[in-house]
């Protein structure tokens, strides 16, 4: 790979200091840019300049800058939301890409700080968030390499970043600045900064400061206003006061007014009762109309400058797992363009492994000996590719349900996916999973 990844991963955080030169024009890379970079074929969908049903700027592979803005505006204008999945391995990334192509639609692949740490491997020291930075960058290059091969538009994002985790994001932005100097676009598409636990004035000011830096290279900012309840990736908000789970229109307008002074490349994770995790029906009270009230309030404030759609804000939906479909689709109608699905995809991945073990239990108790005979080998059953493929297939099925719930199917206009050939299946010694 021509890009010297190793140069990004030395001398701790010092290697991730901001690039000294940022400012060349933001360009849209030609088709198959990453494939050309690493010298692999770029054929069929990979070789497309754009998609039949999407804005011309949106191309196969990772999108950023104006192409990302155009894609999110297309979602808002056409009444769908893009699923966003937290990934921790190349296997979970591949499942997301496969689901996106199966549903002929975009996908958002994102990394949390903990997921990034895991991607690097638990054997890497994480002092000064070194492992988190390295893991996210490693995952980003995997996404960039394979997104083009699957022929779908991908938003490469990072999830919740609290105030104490800002050095992690600093490292990733610095990596994008270096990538931008070589390629004319950032390594990532966007980053979330979650300062919802800080005073709103501090939250807005820090987000403005980051947006000024990010906008120079075409990175989009996602900011959070209000608290997402529940627990995820070590962040526990289960005991927060109920009023913290609901944002106020005036606060959302305050964010919109201040960030638009810097750039239009931002989205808002406003709280409307969202909770991470899955709970029994009735335990979570979502109020999507909070988003509607905010859009109307801001539209009134903007007057003649308000968009005709009456949806000036691009909202994101956190804690989507287990949510009622009617609440999801109501939120989409109020300008929600992305929904996080973490807990449900964690379960679907595990369930695929669980079901595989149950189906082949008698073949997974030793290397030799199974129901067909004491001397029969079991290698093709305990080959990790088999149970992991079962996990991927189950996750693709769960994401297909999510795509339907989000009204995000047949968006690109590619048509039905052609069956992949020469993969490890029953004819080549694999199991039918």
Measure the N-to-C terminal CA separation of the chain; round to a whole number of Å.
Answer: 33
Between helix 325-333 and helix 384-405 the angle, nearest 10°, is: 60
Catalytic residue among 56, 70, 125, 159: 159
Three-state SS for 417?
Answer: coil
Angle at 122 between CA 118 and CA 123, to 5 degrees: 140
Residue 16 C-beta-side C-alpha neighbours within 13 Å: 23
Angle at 373 between CA 368 and CA 376, to 5 degrees: 35
* β partners of residue 230: 276
Residue of 95, 111, 127 whose CA lies nearest to 394:
95
Q: What DSSP element (H or E) covers 289?
A: helix 289-302
User: What distance in Å separates the CA atoms of residue 256 and residue 249, rounded to the nearest whole number?
Assistant: 10
Name the residue with tokens 């979602």: 75
Residue 70 among the catalytic residues: no
User: What distance in Å separates the CA atoms of residue 31 and residue 148, rounded to the nearest whole number?
Assistant: 9
User: What distance in Å separates the CA atoms of residue 428 and residue 48, rounded to the nearest whole number?
Assistant: 31
Q: Is 393 exposed, middle or buried (0-12, 13-18, 19+ CB in 10 A)?
A: middle
Q: Is 200 exposed, middle or buried (0-12, 13-18, 19+ CB in 10 A)?
A: middle
Q: Are 176 and 217 in contact (CB under 8 A)?
A: yes
Q: How far is CA 38 from CA 35, 41, 232, 381, in A?
A: 5, 9, 35, 33
Active site residues per annotation: 159
């Amino acid at each position: 790979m021509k890009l010297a990844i190793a140069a990004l991963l030395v001398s701790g955080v010092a290697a991730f200091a901001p690039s000294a030169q940022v400012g060349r024009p933001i360009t849209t890379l030609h088709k198959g840019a990453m494939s050309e970079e690493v010298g692999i074929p770029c054929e069929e969908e990979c070789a497309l300049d754009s998609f039949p049903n999407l804005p011309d700027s949106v191309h196969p592979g990772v999108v950023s800058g104006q192409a990302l803005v155009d894609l999110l505006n297309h979602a808002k204008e056409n009444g769908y939301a893009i699923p966003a999945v937290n990934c921790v391995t190349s296997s979970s990334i591949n499942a997301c890409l496969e689901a996106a192509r199966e549903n002929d639609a975009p996908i958002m692949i994102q990394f949390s700080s903990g997921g990034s740490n895991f991607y690097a491997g638990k054997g890497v020291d994480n002092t000064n968030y070194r492992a988190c930075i390295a893991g996210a960058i490693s995952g980003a290059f995997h996404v960039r390499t394979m997104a083009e091969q699957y022929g779908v538009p991908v938003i490469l994002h990072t999830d919740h970043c609290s105030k104490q985790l800002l050095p992690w994001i600093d490292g990733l932005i610095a990596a994008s600045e270096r990538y931008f100097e070589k390629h004319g676009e950032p390594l990532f598409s966007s980053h979330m900064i979650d300062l919802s636990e800080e005073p709103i004035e501090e939250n807005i000011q820090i987000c403005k400061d980051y947006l000024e830096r990010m906008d120079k290279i075409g990175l989009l900012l996602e900011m959070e206003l209000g608290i997402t309840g529940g627990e995820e990736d070590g962040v526990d908000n289960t005991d927060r006061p109920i009023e913290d789970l609901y944002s106020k229109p005036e606060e959302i307008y305050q964010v919109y007014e201040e960030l638009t002074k810097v750039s239009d490349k931002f989205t808002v994770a406003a709280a409307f009762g969202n909770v991470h995790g899955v709970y029994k029906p009735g335990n979570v009270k979502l109020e999507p109309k909070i988003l509607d009230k905010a859009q109307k309030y801001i539209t009134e404030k903007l007057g003649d400058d308000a968009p005709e759609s009456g949806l000036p804000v691009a909202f994101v939906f956190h804690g989507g797992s287990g949510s009622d479909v009617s609440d999801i689709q109501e939120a989409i109608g109020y300008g929600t363009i992305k929904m996080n699905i973490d807990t449900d995809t964690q379960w679907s991945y595990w369930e695929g492994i669980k079901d595989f073990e149950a189906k082949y239990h008698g073949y997974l108790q030793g290397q030799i000996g199974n129901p067909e005979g004491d001397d029969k080998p079991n290698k093709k059953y305990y080959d990790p590719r088999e149970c992991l493929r079962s996990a991927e297939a189950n996750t693709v099925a769960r994401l297909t349900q999510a795509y339907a719930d989000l009204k995000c199917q047949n968006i690109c206009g590619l048509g039905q996916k052609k069956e992949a050939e020469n993969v490890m299946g029953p004819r080549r010694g694999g199991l039918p999973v």
